[in-house]
């Protein structure tokens, strides 16, 4: 059984608690990095860094879901770690709601296919539970395309010295 790592701060705590049973129902084991209780004074780096470190140490093979108010700060923390490719999702218009003639790609799908994103950062203040579940399902079921150009670009990311 594949393990999915998950973490949140206070702003994402309720959504994290709702997503854990959803992930288990999808057949995943869940490793929770906290927050383990609601504390309005907690700081997101305290939870995101340990999760990102584990993904980094796996060479980017493991996957994680991090949740905060907007998902932005959480992704910033995660992306400081080598082999971590965090993408933020805090809601998006569906293509049928786009301006006339404008194509709106599904960013979670694209992030998986093109960037082999291994961390999904959710903005709990912008998403319903159902929207978050749909994003998580997409994130976990869409494979990396393995396209030559995408592989080349990821190799270049791994070569950047920090």
**Averaged over 3-15, what is the pLDDT?**
98
Task: Determine how β-strand 3-8 pairs with β-strand 86-89.
Answer: unpaired
pLDDT band at residue 127 using 50, 70 and 90 as cut-offs? very high
Could you give the CA distance from residue 36 to residue 8 in angstroms, rounded to a whole number? 9
Residue tagged active-site, from 14, 83, 114, 131: 114
Give the pLDDT confidence of 128-157 residue by residue, as tens digits: 999 999 999 999 999 999 899 999 999 998
Query: Is the per-residue pLDDT at 21 higher than 90?
Result: yes
Strands lying side by side in the sheet with 29-32: 29-32, 3-8, 63-68, 119-123, 86-89
pLDDT band at residue 36 using 50, 70 and 90 as cut-offs? very high
**Catalytic status, residue 83:** no
**Catalytic status, residue 114:** yes
Tokens for 56? 């980094």
Give the pLDDT confidence of 111-120 residue by residue, as tens digits: 999 999 999 9
Question: What structural domains and CATH numbers belong to the chain?
Answer: 3-159 (3.40.1400.10)
Burial 3-30 (b: 16+ CB within 10 A, else e): ebbbbbbbbbbebbbebbeebeeeebeb
Query: Is the per-residue pLDDT at 93 higher than 80?
Result: no
Sign of CA dihedral 82, 142, 69, 16: negative
Q: What confidence score (pLDDT) does residue 106 get?
A: 81
Maximal C-alpha separation, the chain: 46
Residue tagged active-site, from 74, 96, 133, 150: 74
**Averaged over 103-118, what is the pLDDT?**
86
């Amino acid at each position: 059984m594949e393990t999915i790592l998950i973490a949140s701060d206070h702003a994402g705590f309720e959504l994290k608690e709702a997503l854990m049973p959803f992930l288990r129902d999808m057949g995943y084991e869940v490793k929770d990095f906290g927050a383990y209780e609601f504390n309005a004074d907690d700081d997101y780096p305290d939870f995101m860094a340990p999760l990102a470190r584990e993904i980094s140490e796996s060479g980017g093979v493991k996957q994680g879901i991090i949740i905060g108010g907007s998902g932005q700060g959480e992704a910033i923390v995660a992306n400081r770690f080598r082999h971590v490719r965090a993408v933020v999702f805090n809601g998006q218009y569906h293509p049928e709601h786009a301006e006339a003639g404008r194509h709106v790609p599904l960013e979670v799908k694209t992030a998986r296919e093109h960037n082999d994103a291994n961390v999904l950062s959710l903005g709990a203040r912008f998403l319903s539970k159902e929207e978050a579940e749909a994003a998580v399902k997409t994130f976990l079921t869409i494979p990396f395309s393995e396209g030559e150009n995408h592989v080349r670009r990821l190799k270049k990311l791994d070569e950047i010295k920090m």
